[in-house]
Every structure is written in C-alpha cells, then in structure tokens.
Amino acid sequence: MTETRTTCPYCGVGCGVVASVEGEAVSVRGDETHPANLGRLCVKGSALGETTGLQGRLLRPAVDGLEVDWAQALNAAGERLREIIDTWGPQAVAFYASGQLLTEDYYAANKLMKGFIGAANIDTNSRLCMSSAVVGYKRAFGEDVVPCSYDDVENSDLVVLVGSNAAWTHPVLYQRLVQAKRNNPQMKVVVIDPRRTATCDIADLHLALAPGSDAGLFVGLLNVIQGTDEWPVERVAAFCGLSPQDIGTFYDWFITAPRAITLYTMGINQSASGSDKCNAIINVHLASGKFNRPGCGPFSLTGQPNAMGGREVGGLANQLAAHMNFEPDDLSRVARFWGTERLAQTPGLMAVELFDAIARGEVKAVWIMGTNPAVSLPDSHAVCQALAGCPLVMVSEVMNDTDTSRFAHIRFPALGWGEKDGTVTNSERRISRQRAFLPAPGEAKPDWWIVAQMAKRLGYGEAFAWQHPHEIFCEHAALTAFENDGARALNLHDLAALTREEWDQLEPYQWPTGDFPRRNIVPVNPLLHGATVSALYPLILNSGRIRDQWHTMTRTGYVARLMQHIAEPFVEVCPADAVRFSLCDGQLARISSPRGVMVVRVRINDGIREGEAFAPMHWNAEFSRQGKVNALVEGRCDPVSGQPESKQTAVRILPWQPAWQGELYAREWPEMPSSAYWWRKASRLTVAGDQPLLSWVMDYASDRGWQLQVAQTGERSSVLAWHEGLLMLGFWEGTALPALAHTVIEAAFQSPPVLASERHALLNGQSVGKEADPGRIICSCFSVGENTIREAIVGGCDSVTALGAKLRCGTNCGSCVPELKGLFQDNPEMSARTAFQGLSR
C-alpha cells in the first residue's frame, strides 16, 4: 500500500488528505499535519476514495463527435482557432476556466490568452462566487489580499457569519469554530442570514434580515462606531426587517468585543450590489480597529479549492497577472517578463457578458476548462442557446457527458483529482501541493499540457516549453517577485527557485500579507438591488448548496452515500406560504420566472422567511428533468465586479399534480419513455407524469425473459422482475408517490430474498423479514437513518454524544449534528436536556 499527501478538491478550506492505494482500491483520511484541517474531513472529503472510478469518464479526444488521437484533436483545434483569430481578431476568442484547475493550469491558460492570443477574454467560474470579494479587498487595500487566517476564527471573541451556511459549505472550518466555542464559552457567534440554516445551531444571535439588506446593517454599525446618525438603529431596522433590539445587541457585541472577525461568502458576494456589501463589512473592521491583529478582520471564504490560486495568477478577465492590473507600468512589466508583444491592453469580458457576446456572435470560439456553465451560469437556457450557435466550442473535461460538453465540437480528456499534479491556494492564502497518486486513465492529459500544446500549434511554443508543472509554478512565483518593490503583497520570491525535489516535497505555505499601507474606508450607500415581486411573481427565490453535493454533481452525484442525505431537487417554503399557495409537504410544485421553469418537490421549513423560497443549485440534465435552478435566474450583475445575482429571483409557485408517480430500481438502466418529471441516482429513478409506466415496465421485463411478480391494489401497482434468482428490476407506482423502504430495496439487489413471504414484502416496498428500515439517512458518513436514531432516542440516548457513542452518527465530520439535535425537539424533556448540553457531540 502506498500513501500520498495531497489536498481535497472541494471547498476553499483546503483540507489536507492522505490517500492510500492498494491495488485498485483508494481510501482516504485527513492529514493530521495539514494546518487547515488537522486531520478532520467532511463527508465529501471522506468519500473521495469512492470518486476515483472511471464511470462516465472522458478518456479519448474527440472532434465533431468522433474519437481521434491527440495530434488530430490539437491540430484541428489549432487550425480552427487560428482561422478565427486571423479573420475576426483575438477578441473573437475566449477561455472560461474554473476554480477546479490547479494553479499551474490556470497560469498556463492566462498566459496564453492574455499574453499571446492578445485578448483578456479569459474568465472563470470564480466570477460567480468570489469576484465581489476581490473588488472589496482591492478598493480597501489596493490589492486582493485576504487579511485573516483560520487561527483568527478560533481566537476571536465574536465571530460573525454573514451569508454563510458554513456548517454545510465549509464544514471543517465550521467544526473548528464549534470546538473553539466549546473551549471558550464566552465566545459569541452571530449568524446573519435570511434563512435559519444548520450554521445557526451554534448561534447566540440569528439575524434573519431581509434579502439584500446586509449593507444597511453594516453601514448602521459604522455610523455607531463613528458617532454619526445618518443610519440610526430605527432606520436600519426598517431597512433590514429586524427588531431594533436585536440590531442593538449585535452592535453592542461588536463594539465591546476585544476581538471580532466576520466570515462572509456567497450570500454577500452573489448580489447585484455584492462589492458594496463587502466594503460595508470591511469598513466596520477598519473603523473599529478590529483588523490586522489576531482574532480580527473581514474574512471572505472562497467557495472552491483553487479560487484563490486563480486570483493569484490573474485568472479573472479584469486582472492581468500576479496581482497586477491593466495599468501602464504593470502592462510593461508583464510583457517584458513573458517576452511578448501581443499582451492584452484592456480588461476582457466577464462571465455573463462573455456568454452574451457568444450569443451575439461577437465571440466565435470558446474553450471551457473544468466547469459546466450550461448549469452554473444564470439564465441557463440562454447560455445553452449561445453555445449551440457558437462556431467553435472546445472543452477540457474529466467527464464524458455534461450539460456543457454536449455542445462541444472538440473535447479534450483532462486529468482529475488523484491524477493531476500541482498546487492550490485555500481561503487563508495557504499554498498546498495536490499530488498525483493514480496513473493517467486512457489518454487523459494535464490541463497545462493541453494549453502548452495548443500554444505550440498557434506558433507560441517557445514560451510554453514546460516539461513539468514544477517549471510553471516557479515561473508564476518568479512573476510575483519580478520588479516587486514591496508594492504588491503577493510575492513568492521564496518559492521561485525551488528545485524539482523541493517542489515535490513542498509543505503548506502561507504567504504573508504585509502591513496594509492602504486602509480605505469606502463610502457605501445601501440600496435594495434585488428582484421585485409582483402579483404574477410574488416570491423571492434564493439558491445555494446542500450538504453532501458539490457544484453540478459530476463527481459527487455518482457516489451512493453522498446521495443518501438529499437525493431529489426541492424547494423550501415557510408554513404560511404553503397555505397561501396551496402546497403540501412532499408535493410536486412548478416554479416559474420570466426565464424558465423548474419542477421540484416541496419541503415546508419554518426557517424560511415568509414571501421567500429556497432551492439548491446542483441538479442538471444528467440527474433530473427541470431541476436546474439557474433556468429561472436572471443574469443581473454587480456593476463593478460583474458577479451575477443568484440569491434573489422573483418567481411564482403552483402545485403540480401528475396523474401518477413512481419509483424504478434497476440493475441496468433501460431506455425510458419520456416523462414530465424525473430525477435519478445510482440504481433509482423517481418519475411522474400523465401516462403510467407499469405496462411499459412489464413489457420491457417480459421481452428479456424475466420472471414477473405483480401486485395491484386500488390506485397502486408494483412489479418485481427476477432472473436466475437475482432481482433485475422493481417498479412501484400510484396516484401518489409510493412510500417505500428504499434502503431495504437497495439491499435486495445485493442479497436477494428467497422466501415467498420476503419477496411479497419487497413487492409492497417494505422490509424484508426482520430487517428494519433505517429511514431517511441523516449521517452520511456512517449511513445512519432517522428511524434508527429515533429508536435510539426512545431507547434512552439523551444527547448527541450518546447517539454518537451508540450509532457513531455525528462523530466524523460533524455536519449532521444540527439535524441530530433537531430530532430531540419532538420530546420536550429530551429537548431541554439537549439545550442544556449545548454544543456536546
């Protein structure tokens, strides 16, 4: 067995991982020596060993739908790109990159696009999550410098989380905060979020403010700090929809706390006024002196594993390179360093405007690297139309079939996690090695290699003659140090001369921030830039992540245990709105905006404000029909950062009652007739529509000579298909969605029941023999279900700690702890005990 120290490819916490390979089996554990996580992993990180299979992988290059060798693919791409550049100029070409790329990949792509093709039309999906934070830091400090570290979170007296459900989106950092609060009971935590989320589990104060009103809350705090009265508490209360008492408590805690830190992420950034919100937060830290000292500061948490690395190399269209800008001195400096006379002189197209330009025919060629904009960008239908009409779409991709790659003329198979080799930078500016421990599958290649080969075919090979990512990293580090007289905090001169062996063995390295000579308090005029509700569209829809999935599910959607907690797209509304719109919990609903429609299942949640709704961002055409939330979202952007508004979309919601609903389990997926609604995971498909499928399922099974077992009772029907003792298929349908013991059904495919009574129980979708149904899975780490947990509570487990000792739930990543606590609420006596025990796990 071999062990390799690497990093996790999910969120911006940047956890260290030890990957062990024995034969074809990969297992992982947290790296106890890595300062980001000190050995802890979340459920997604813990399941990384289950993502290294080759199911669905893109393994060979393809041109116009035909597999070819690398030379043919690169030659075709180079010829088509060159023709477009010669005919329409460099502005007709664009790259769209990703925070999933390694720093070396990012550097190569940025250098080719800006330095040699000669246009700055390279942007990244980080535009969708971090670009407003970049603007905030640059306006305040003159540079994109994050002035905090994770140690500051643990050593603060007041931790403010704004627009962040860190318990689910940055779970390991959140668990560090949980432990810090346990160690220091005097620490206070304030959560500022319209929704009550799992993060509120440790909140001393939850401010459920009106969507988009964050700037007003912090401008009011700044007024108190500075002793002005333009935004008195009463005005803030009216603006934010909060009580003056709660606002006063927050302001008092912030002003009196010796140390205060504010963590903010997508709820702040993904806004048409995100840049101003970021500066409103930074302002209160600068004005109060709670800045640039331990336990203090404005801390933007990056969403992706290398969003920060992309920002360092200049991967955004309005950056040049290495924290340099489109200014005369910087342009001269970068041109001389790269040895180019073709350097782009002005900023390029940002993400939303880039795809608008594709739609208008101004951009003729786009190279998409490691991201899925047909799902992740707002107004996804318009994005798909733009790609369908683009003369040249190239993708560098790990997976063979994504919503975006379906539009590709040329596909390049890229290396995935465990196969590629390079560096990433996490939220606290810590550079870590992401090391390869698996061989390259098929003909997949590193992204930097693909870029370098393309540069060669465009005539720029001499400037891209790297043979190893170590050379690219050292070049990037040298550029950060080039003619750097201290004006730029990003200066990796210590790393620019690393040998190959030193780079291979590089320990996590956090670059220093300097003394922040510029500390600008930026005037902010709070305005509500969000969507406007109307009689036709009376709800504000918010979107975001769920606990166990990542981005558009191309990796996590194939991992069975990561689909246990939440597998179906949904919308959450409060009880009052459920009554208002005639919605029932578990019912299907049709949500529409002027741009599109989605059909999802309703969840009633009293943590949602009245007049608002929430739907997750992950689902796509691979895993659902009409489950894409971005089909509804308008592409309104912050005028400074270009970051689109993803948190406020005016929608209407109506109940949708299909004629039938069903559940299909199959050993191998058949080609299904079209249905109005479906979602799938692994071996399970949930469907609904106007035409029942029972007859089709029976014909399908009979045609294969399988033995059928059929039951029909009233408005419910079911069928099992057997072959040589194996369960091949099971189908249950009715006018309502059948209530099934899903874990029992899944187990029957592995260990088929033999007795007639057991098969009859399975035909009814219930437990086989004495096997208990664990119910809805709450702890994905150990597959512990709600029924099992409730039985343990009834049996005497009176705390989360006791549940962990008996069932192990909550003892690994901790992400399920808030839900475990919630199960005690059904029993007032247990609820009181749990509240008293507070943060115990």
220 within 8 A of 284, measured Cβ to Cβ: no
- Which pLDDT score, from 0 to 100, does residue 771 have? 66
| Segments in the chain below pLDDT 70 | 768-771, 826-841
CA angle 246, 247, 250 (to 5 degrees): 90
Q: What token pair was written down for 761?
A: 């129980």
522 within 8 A of 279, measured Cβ to Cβ: yes
CA proximity to 252, closest of 281, 288, 291, 282: 288
Domain ranges of the chain: 2-51, 72-129+306-468, 132-300, 539-655, 660-763, 777-837
What sign has the CA pseudo-torsion 537, 539, 540, 546? negative
The 3-class SS string of 44-59 reads: HHHCHHHHCCCCCECC
Cross-strand pairs, 472: none
Q: What is the dihedral of CA 267, 306, 546, 150, to 10 degrees?
A: -70
511 within 8 A of 491, measured Cβ to Cβ: yes
Task: Report CA 160 to chain centroid distance, whole Å.
Answer: 22
Would the pTM count as exceeding 0.85?
Answer: yes
CATH number for the region 132-300 comes to 3.40.228.10
**Could you tell me the maximum CA-CA distance found in the chain, to the nearest angstrom?**
82
456 vs 94: CA distance, rounded Å: 18
- Which pLDDT score, from 0 to 100, does residue 670 have? 87
785 vs 766: CA distance, rounded Å: 16
- Which pLDDT score, from 0 to 100, does residue 826 have? 61
The CATH architecture annotation of domain 72-129+306-468 reads 3-Layer(aba) Sandwich (3.40)
Q: Side chain identity at 280, as an amino acid letter?
A: A
Strands 410-413 and 392-397: parallel
Among 3.30.1300.30, 3.30.200.210, 1.10.3720.10, 1.10.357.10, name the CATH number for the domain at 2-51: 3.30.200.210
120 within 8 A of 149, measured Cβ to Cβ: no
168 vs 545: CA distance, rounded Å: 8
What sign has the CA pseudo-torsion 34, 36, 37, 41? negative
Using a 10 angstrom Cβ sphere, with 0-12 exposed, 13-18 middle and 19 or more buried, the burial of residue 205 is: middle
Residue 294 neighbours by CB distance under 10 Å:
14
- Which pLDDT score, from 0 to 100, does residue 487 have? 87
SS3 at position 424: strand
591 vs 577: CA distance, rounded Å: 14
Q: What is the DSSP string of 571-612?
A: EEE-HHHHHHTT--TT-EEEEE-SS-EEEEEEEE-TTSPTTE
271 vs 543: CA distance, rounded Å: 12
Q: What is the DSSP string of 128-187?
A: GTTHHHHHHHHHHHSS------HHHHHT-SEEEEES--HHHHSHHHHHHHHHHHHH-TT-
Using a 10 angstrom Cβ sphere, with 0-12 exposed, 13-18 middle and 19 or more buried, the burial of residue 352 is: buried
719 within 8 A of 730, measured Cβ to Cβ: yes
- Which pLDDT score, from 0 to 100, does residue 770 have? 59
Q: What is the DSSP string of 331-362?
A: HHHHHHHHT-S----S----HHHHHHHHHHTS
For domain 777-837, the question of CATH label 1.10.10.1100 is answered with yes
CATH number for the region 539-655 comes to 2.40.40.20
